[in-house]
Structure formats: structure tokens, C-alpha cells
């Protein structure tokens, strides 16, 4: 076994499972109401005959020869559990994959799916998380997602590409170790900024071939680990924005176990090299102040997952998740990017306590968020909101409306976005089809709409 310092793998498996790398591998799965589509490869015997073995879960198996790398199975019964595997003619076999058929929300398509009892990625997690989207210079869409699980390592990211504007998706590669990654394009190259693992090191990597291969990751700021509960680096895959001659994004330090997430921003000059740690600076951490709680009506909220925007007063702010109905506003010191953020009050919006995306558009601002209306909604209604002042938002229309379904078992949350003209393209961490709960997502859905 030779050493390796680049980030990409096809696929990544722990060294004690290295023998499985020689087996056929199912790299993408997309079930719907009456069938499923999957993608597979065999890096050892790709040209030899292969057989799909499939059937109802723990039932009688059927066998059919396959040759194409993307396979479609039709004619299944909706709401049933199925399993399948791919066998090579020399006896090598893929891992057993699980799925449940179900209709998907109207207007969406499936980027990827993972059954909550499918153990293929157990070394990292069992649920799809952290959607991220980027468009490369050729027009390719690249979608990222990672694998989380309770008391699991949480350090694997999966990448998929579409060269037909989201109509079809194919597997690109695994990124290991990588978690909570933001894909973005900068000066013609594709980058990903995120963590080595949950609360680990903040790191960045670069791809010169639109996501097919990646550089070694470069550590920008050191973290710790959720396992020690002292806290570490934290960030969702929030956007990077160019303002005032700098490239900005948000981060926090802390953990749930440490009791809080302490907000900050990181930035670099636009003419700097993103792959050089000395290009970047972080603002001093802004610790929680009881004034925020009192100004918010006596209830302490979250301080994470911020959106950096220039407000009508000309100043730059970080708008963070706080609590249902309110958004925390912290002002950024553009003259001194290492200075701590400054408390600037709250914005009002009828949103639930979940991550949101705020997007400037034509002199106004659009927000994609989980609606808190009607009463009882949590994350089962993803909607568009609009504001003319970045202080008050009103809901305009629903994007995915499962408000009539159990909010404990349905969620459409943490949307990644691209806004191109009036077209809003989304990748949505999604929960339905007999998932564990509203949080532990089994789908990554793709959605395009006009705003």
C-alpha cells in the first residue's frame, strides 16, 4: 500500500475493508414510486459480465445481466422494501444495498439516496447531510453531501456531477477526510472549504478538472473534536461572498457538548491564493452576551450558520440562525477583519429554528427557509420569503409543502443554492419515506424554480 495525500478516492474505504475495493461498488442510488436507478462500477473487472441480484428485502432474489453503468429497475410496488447487489462473473460481489420505493415531492429529482439501515458508509455515518452546489466554467453542476451518524466518525463527503443542468447525475468521487464542505468556484477553479471531521480542522482543497480529482487538503485553522466536548471548528456549507475587496464566509467555534457555538467570520483579499493559510484571517470569537437574550424576549437561541450580506445602510452583517421567528444580526468590521463581530439586533421572519439562505436579488432579498406557518410546522415546509429592508421578511410561496404530514418524520432543510438570473437551483437535505425522524436525512433532492 502506497502513501497518499490527495483528497479524492473512488471509493474511500477504511484500510481494514480494503479488500472490498476490488469488488463491484454501487456509488449512487435513486428510488421513486415504482422503481429505482443506480450507478455502479468495477475497477478490477469492469469489462467482464455482471449480474444484478435483486428482490424484496429478505425475500426471493431475481437475477438479470447488466452491462450499462447506470441501471434502471421498473415495475415495483410503491411503499415496499427492496435489496440488491451486483455480482461479477468471477464471484466478486458488491455490498448489499437497501431501498424503499416512494413517490418523491413534485418538481424534484433525486441526486442520491441512503436507506437508514444501509451500512455501506458506517465508518462515517448513515444519513446524507450538508448539501452544497457549484457550477464550473464548463456549465457542469457539482453537488456535495457528507455522511453523519450518531457517535460515528462523520468525515466522508460524496460528490456528484450533472452535465445536463440537473436532468441526470453521476458519481464523481469521495472526499476523505472532509465534512461540512462548501463547494465554490473562484478564478476558474473549483474549491471546497470545510472541516476534516465534525469540529475538526478547517481546511480547503482545490480541483483543476471540475471535481474529478482534488489536491491535498490545506489546514487553515485548527479545531478539536466533538468526542472531547471542548468544542472545535464548526460551519455548515454556507456560501462565500465577495464584498469590499475580500472573500468572506462564516464559521463558529464550540460544540453542543461545550454549551454554545461562538460566531466569527473568516476572509481573505480577493487577489490572494485561497490555498495559502496566510491568506486567511479570522475575526476574534464573539462570546454570548446576555443582552442578546434579553433583546430577544428572554429566550436564548442558536448562534450558527450565518449569511453575510450588505444591508441597506451600506454595512456588512452576518445574519445567523437564532430561534423561531427571529434572526440574529452581527455587524462585521470591514476595516479590521480580525475584530470581533458586533451585536446589531434581530431581523423578524416567520421561520422555524433551522438553517436558512438569504440571497440578494434585484434590490431586494430572497430567503429560502423552513416556514413556521401554519402552526405545527417544523422543517416539513420549505418556502420562499422576501424582504426589502433585511429586517422584516414575509412568506411568498411554498417550494416543498409537506405541512399535512407528520413534522416528526418529514423535513426539507439546509438548502444549498445557485441563483442565476431569476432561476434558483437548490439541493435539499430531505427526510421522508419512512425515515428515522425529521433530522436524519435519507435523500438529497434537486429542485429548480423561478423567483
For the chain, how are helix, strand and coil distributed in percent, rounded to 5?
Answer: 5, 50, 45
The answer on pLDDT for 85 being more than 70 is yes
The answer on pLDDT for 15 being more than 70 is yes
User: Which residues on adjacent β-strands are paired with residue 323?
Assistant: 326
The answer on pLDDT for 231 being more than 70 is yes
DSSP 228: G
pLDDT, position 429: 98
What would the pLDDT profile of 308-355 be if each residue is shown by its tens digit?
999 999 999 999 999 999 999 999 999 999 999 999 999 999 999 999
The answer on pLDDT for 227 being more than 70 is no
| Second CATH level (architecture) for the domain 13-100 | Sandwich (2.60)
Q: How far apart are CA 380 and CA 409, in angstroms?
A: 9
Per-domain boundaries in the chain: 13-100, 108-450
> What mean pLDDT comes out for the span 423-444?
97
CA 397 to each of CA 109, 275, 385: distance values in angstroms, whole numbers, following the listed order: 20, 40, 7
Are residues 181 and 235 in contact, defined by beta-carbon separation less than 8 angstroms? no
Confidence band for 64, pLDDT divided at 50, 70 and 90: very high
CATH for 108-450, options being 1.20.1440.120, 2.120.10.10, 2.70.210.12, 3.30.1450.10: 2.120.10.10
The answer on pLDDT for 364 being more than 70 is yes
pLDDT, position 122: 95
The answer on pLDDT for 302 being more than 90 is no
pLDDT, position 258: 66
The answer on pLDDT for 226 being more than 70 is no
Q: How far apart are CA 70 and CA 170, in angstroms?
A: 9
> What mean pLDDT comes out for the span 374-400?
93
User: What is the tally of helices (H) and strands (E) in the chain?
Assistant: 1, 33
On the CB side of 251, how many CA atoms lie within 13 Å of its CA? 33
Q: How far apart are CA 39 and CA 109, in angstroms?
A: 16
Q: What percent of the chain is modeled with pLDDT above 70?
A: 98
What would the pLDDT profile of 261-294 be if each residue is shown by its tens digit?
899 999 999 999 999 999 999 999 998 888 888 8
Instruction: Identify the residue whose cell numbers are 423567483.
Output: 451
What would the pLDDT profile of 153-197 be if each residue is shown by its tens digit?
999 999 999 999 999 999 999 999 999 999 999 999 999 999 999
Are residues 341 and 286 in contact, defined by beta-carbon separation less than 8 angstroms? yes
Which of 2-6, 377-381, 399-403 shows the lowest per-residue confidence on average (mean pLDDT)?
A: 2-6
Q: How far apart are CA 326 and CA 323, in angstroms?
A: 5
pLDDT, position 151: 84
The answer on pLDDT for 228 being more than 70 is no
Report CA 142 to chain centroid distance, whole Å.
12
**CA gyration radius, the chain:** 22
> What mean pLDDT comes out for the span 24-30?
98
The answer on pLDDT for 255 being more than 90 is no
The answer on pLDDT for 371 being more than 70 is yes
Count Cβ atoms below 10 Å from residue 211 Cβ, excluding itself: 24
Q: 290: helix, coil or strand?
A: helix
What would the pLDDT profile of 98-110 be if each residue is shown by its tens digit?
999 999 999 999 9
Q: How far apart are CA 396 and CA 388, in angstroms?
A: 13
Average pLDDT of the chain?
95
Are residues 76 and 101 in contact, defined by beta-carbon separation less than 8 angstroms? yes
Beta pairing class for 281-282 and 304-310 = unpaired
CA 39 to each of CA 89, 128, 168, 285, 323: distance values in angstroms, whole numbers, following the listed order: 18, 17, 11, 44, 40
User: Which residues on adjacent β-strands are paired with residue 430?
Assistant: 412, 443
Q: Which residue has the higher pLDDT, 377 or 176?
A: 176
Instruction: Write out the three cell numbers for 308.
Output: 453575510
pLDDT, position 2: 84
Confidence band for 385, pLDDT divided at 50, 70 and 90: very high
Amino acid at each position: 500500500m502506497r502513501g497518499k495525500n490527495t483528497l479524492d478516492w473512488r471509493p474511500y474505504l477504511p484500510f481494514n475493508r480494503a479488500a472490498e475495493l476490488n469488488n463491484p461498488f454501487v456509488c449512487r442510488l435513486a428510488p421513486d414510486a415504482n422503481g429505482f436507478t443506480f450507478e455502479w462500477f468495477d475497477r478490477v473487472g469492469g469489462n467482464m459480465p455482471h449480474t444484478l441480484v435483486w428482490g424484496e428485502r429478505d425475500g426471493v432474489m431475481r437475477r438479470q445481466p447488466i452491462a450499462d453503468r447506470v441501471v434502471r429497475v421498473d415495475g415495483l410496488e410503491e411503499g415496499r422494501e427492496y435489496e440488491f447487489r451486483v455480482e461479477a462473473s468471477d464471484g466478486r460481489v458488491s455490498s448489499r444495498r437497501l431501498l424503499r420505493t416512494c413517490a418523491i415531492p413534485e418538481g424534484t429529482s433525486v441526486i442520491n439516496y441512503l436507506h437508514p439501515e444501509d451500512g455501506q458508509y458506517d465508518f462515517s455515518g448513515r444519513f446524507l447531510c450538508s448539501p452544497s452546489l457549484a457550477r464550473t466554467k464548463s456549465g457542469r453542476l457539482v453537488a456535495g453531501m457528507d455522511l453523519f451518524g450518531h457517535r460515528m466518525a462523520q468525515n466522508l463527503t460524496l460528490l456528484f456531477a450533472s452535465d445536463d443542468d440537473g436532468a441526470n447525475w453521476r458519481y464523481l468521487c469521495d472526499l476523505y477526510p472532509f465534512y461540512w464542505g462548501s463547494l465554490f468556484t473562484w478564478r476558474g477553479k473549483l474549491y471546497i472549504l470545510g472541516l476534516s471531521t465534525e469540529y475538526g480542522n478547517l481546511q480547503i482543497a482545490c480541483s483543476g478538472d471540475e471535481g474529478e480529482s482534488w489536491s491535498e487538503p490545506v489546514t487553515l485553522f485548527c479545531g478539536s473534536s466533538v468526542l472531547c466536548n471542548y468544542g472545535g471548528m464548526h460551519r455548515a456549507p454556507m456560501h462565500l461572498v465577495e464584498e469590499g475587496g475580500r472573500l468572506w464566509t462564516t464559521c463558529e467555534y464550540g460544540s453542543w457538548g461545550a454549551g454554545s457555538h461562538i460566531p466569527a467570520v473568516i476572509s481573505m483579499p480577493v487577489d490572494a491564493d485561497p490555498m495559502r493559510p496566510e491568506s486567511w484571517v479570522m475575526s476574534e470569537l464573539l462570546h454570548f452576551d446576555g443582552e442578546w437574550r434579553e433583546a430577544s424576549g428572554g429566550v436564548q437561541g442558536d448562534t450558527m450558520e450565518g449569511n453575510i450580506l450588505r444591508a441597506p445602510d451600506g454595512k456588512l452583517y452576518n445574519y445567523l440562525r437564532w430561534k423561531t421567528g427571529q434572526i440574529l444580526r452581527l455587524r462585521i468590521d470591514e476595516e479590521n477583519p480580525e475584530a470581533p463581530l458586533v451585536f446589531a439586533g434581530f431581523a423578524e421572519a416567520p421561520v422555524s429554528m433551522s438553517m436558512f439562505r438569504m440571497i440578494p436579488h434585484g434590490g431586494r432579498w430572497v430567503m429560502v427557509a423552513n416556514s413556521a406557518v401554519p402552526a405545527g410546522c417544523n422543517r416539513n415546509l420549505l418556502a420562499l420569503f422576501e424582504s426589502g429592508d433585511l429586517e422584516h421578511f414575509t412568506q411568498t410561496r411554498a417550494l416543498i409543502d409537506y405541512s399535512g404530514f407528520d413534522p416528526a418524520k418529514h423535513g426539507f432543510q439546509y438548502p444549498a443554492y445557485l441563483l442565476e438570473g431569476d432561476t434558483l437551483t437548490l439541493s435539499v437535505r430531505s427526510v421522508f419515506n419512512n425515515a428515522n425522524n425529521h433530522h436524519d436525512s435519507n435523500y438529497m433532492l434537486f429542485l429548480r424554480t423561478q423567483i
